[in-house]
Amino acid sequence: MPVKALYPGTFDPPTNGHVDIIQRGARLFDHLIVAILVNPVKNPLFSVEERMEMLREATSSIPNVSFARFDGLMVEFAREQGVAAVVRGIRAISDYEYEFQMALMNRRLAPEIETVFLQPAGRYSFVSSRMLKEVFSLGGDVTGLLPPNVLKRLRARINNGH
């Protein structure tokens, strides 16, 4: 029986850190579902469909990855998908504290689903979508921190006055 995992997130926009976690998660599991959270409260720069398309383009060489959208409780979606594990990326101690609490709550809600923490490659350990959007909007260079297709869309979106 193939072992499936879920990598949930907002991915607004997808970063090279996200792609790194997807690549490594896809090596660990038979199938990795990248699940994009529908959360209009966060006022996303890109629509769910745009984020999904950017991620598909950036990970097109990884055959055992699929994409989905979800809202509501992540563990309920994970259960519906029949996954054995949830993959979470951790960049710093502050991420760990939040993610550890979330993992414990998820374990209480769905004890059959494990949480697996992965750290991105060191060169991406400081990168967050929010930080990249801010730096870029203020004229900073984010080359090498985003997949080229994402950087192209970010330039178009920010330069067109989002």
Among the listed residues 42, 130, 152, 155, the single catalytic one is 42
**79, 91, 107, 157: which is the annotated catalytic residue?**
91
Is 47 annotated as catalytic? no
In DSSP notation, 140-160 reads ---TTTS-HHHHHHHHHHHHT
Q: Is 42 a catalytic residue?
A: yes
The Cα 97–Cα 88 span in angstroms is 12
Q: Check if the beta carbon of residue 44 is closer than 8 Å to that of residue 10.
A: yes
From the candidates 88, 129, 133, 153, give the one annotated as an active-site residue.
Answer: 129
Q: What is the DSSP letter of 87?
A: E
Largest CA distance in the chain: 49
Q: Indicate which residue of 18, 51, 88, 153 is catalytic.
A: 18
d(CA 116, CA 9): 14
Q: Is 18 one of the annotated active-site residues of the chain?
A: yes
**Residues that are catalytic:** 18, 42, 91, 129
